[in-house]
Amino acid sequence: MSVNQTQIEMLRKLLRHGATERVVRILERFRPAEIADLYGYLSPAEQKQLTTVLFERQLAAETLSELPEHILVELLSNLGDGRISQIINRLAPDDAVFVVSKLDDERVEKILNGLTPLQRERIEHLRAYPAESAGQLMTSEMIRIQEDVCADEAIDIIRSLGSTSEFIFYIYVVNETGTFLGVVPLRRLIVASPDCPVKDLMVPDPIAVYATDDQEDVADITARYDLLAVPVVDDNFKLLGVVTVDDILDVLQEEATEDMYLMQGLSEEDRVYAPVTHSVKKRFPWMILNLLTAFLAAYVVGLFEKSISEVVVLATFMPVVAGMGGNGGTQTLTVVTRGIALGELDYNDGMSAVLKQVGIGIIVGAGIGLLTGLVAWAWKGMPFLGLVLFLSMLVNMSIAGLAGAAVPLMLKALRMDPAMGSGVLVTTFTDVSGFLAFLGLATVFIEYLV
């Protein structure tokens, strides 16, 4: 069931009137994720009231872990430290780490102090892993069984665990020292004969990731092997926890955002819901870098001021050469960066990808250059202007193909993120080479242009 406008209006009215009982009756119809959605439609005061109701009904932790990030951040800033500690106490450790990561640094210590010692220890344990690592994503809520336990005993163990998470579809088999040996899908356990030891049921040589592995690699492995949960081990292959696929879905969305953002030099925190001052602070340094490259292009144009003053129509066509080169370069960049992110380039070698994109640049540049040249000739009645445009478009689109493909591949070779600032690098190349080619050729042919 999805939330509708009438229900929202009703809920807001009831919250304002403090009609707790009736609020609860409405909330009973919804899942935690749906209650979380409701927050988006409420004023901060109403959000706080709703949170109070959820607290009374012990629904707060469950609901708050489903809130969209920006609403969570806002709500946390409106809740007292004690309340937040109460919520975090009730969360799974991986969700708890996520909520803690959204708190202001100065509050973290106070809120951690308000937790039960066990939960505090669990959270600090996870927080010790590198940011965006498998260790921070994993949960230890899983079923770990010794290799010589029988199927029926294993089922008894699952029964005895009672009402913990239902996100349990595998059992994990370890030896007496905790070394990870294999997984048994729950279904196989059901079908097995009761006295069969789990080590005979398990899928051996299991796929696993190290706790320090990057979340992007964990996502790749999950997608590649169609896993629902990836076991996480330490250097000695001791089983530490599992990363579940629901967290992987979030990672994939995050990583796609990161790629798009890095290409444009955006900070990940620069979101539609971020405050203006925050976005401005994040964009400024990048804009200054952009400005430097823009001045580089301006410097190149400045070299040809004499030619432009003799043939002012050159200024008119500058945006055509630079604009088309920039577009071609950005297109190539997008194709190659995405190819790297999706692992499509592991199969080709980089050089053939570069050559291919240069080939596309030459063909598209020749076609588009011809068209541009003919239009310019017809518009301004200057055949040599047409020729210069044709040649410079051909050169610039080829360089666009080269830069668009080579920049991300070189960044990757330097072990940097292939998307990192690649947009500005590529357009700098195409601006500079476009102006050099166009104004340089025009200077060569200047006697036919005046």
Binding to a copy of itself (CB under 8 A): which residues in 247-286?
Answer: 248-250, 252-253, 256-257, 259-261, 263-266, 270-273, 276, 279-280, 283-284
Residue 131 in the binding site for a copy of itself (CB under 8 A): no
Nearer Cβ to a copy of itself, position 364 or 441?
Answer: 364
Q: What part of residues 414-443 is at the interface with a copy of itself (CB under 8 A)?
A: 423-424, 427, 431, 435
Q: What part of residues 227-246 is at the interface with a copy of itself (CB under 8 A)?
A: 227-228, 245-246
Which of residues 346, 415, 447, 450 is near a copy of itself by CB under 8 A?
346
Q: What part of residues 285-304 is at the interface with a copy of itself (CB under 8 A)?
A: 287-288, 290-291, 293-295, 297-299, 301-302
Nearer Cβ to a copy of itself, position 173 or 345?
Answer: 345
Residue 108 in the binding site for a copy of itself (CB under 8 A): no
Smallest separation, CB 314 to a copy of itself (Å): 8
Residue 447 in the binding site for a copy of itself (CB under 8 A): no
Nearer Cβ to a copy of itself, position 128 or 375?
Answer: 375
Nearer Cβ to a copy of itself, position 78 or 253?
Answer: 253
Q: What part of residues 6-65 is at the interface with a copy of itself (CB under 8 A)?
A: 31, 33, 40-41
Q: What part of residues 64-83 is at the interface with a copy of itself (CB under 8 A)?
A: 66, 68, 70-71
The angle at the Cα of 408, spanning 407 to 410, to the nearest 5 degrees, equals: 65
The 3 state secondary structure assigned to 211-256 is CCCEHHHHHHHHHHCCCCEEEEECCCCEEEEEEEHHHHHHHHHHHH
Q: What part of residues 314-333 is at the interface with a copy of itself (CB under 8 A)?
A: 314-320, 322-324, 326-328, 330-331
Site size toward a copy of itself, by CB under 8 A: 117
Nearer Cβ to a copy of itself, position 206 or 241?
Answer: 206
Nearer Cβ to a copy of itself, position 115 or 266?
Answer: 266
Smallest separation, CB 158 to a copy of itself (Å): 6
What is the longest distance spanned by two Cα atoms in the chain? Answer: 96
Stretch that binds a copy of itself, among 77-85, 116-124, 231-239, 364-372 (CB under 8 A): 364-372
Which of residues 345, 382, 385, 387 is near a copy of itself by CB under 8 A?
345
Nearer Cβ to a copy of itself, position 315 or 413?
Answer: 315
Q: What part of residues 164-193 is at the interface with a copy of itself (CB under 8 A)?
A: 166-169, 185-191
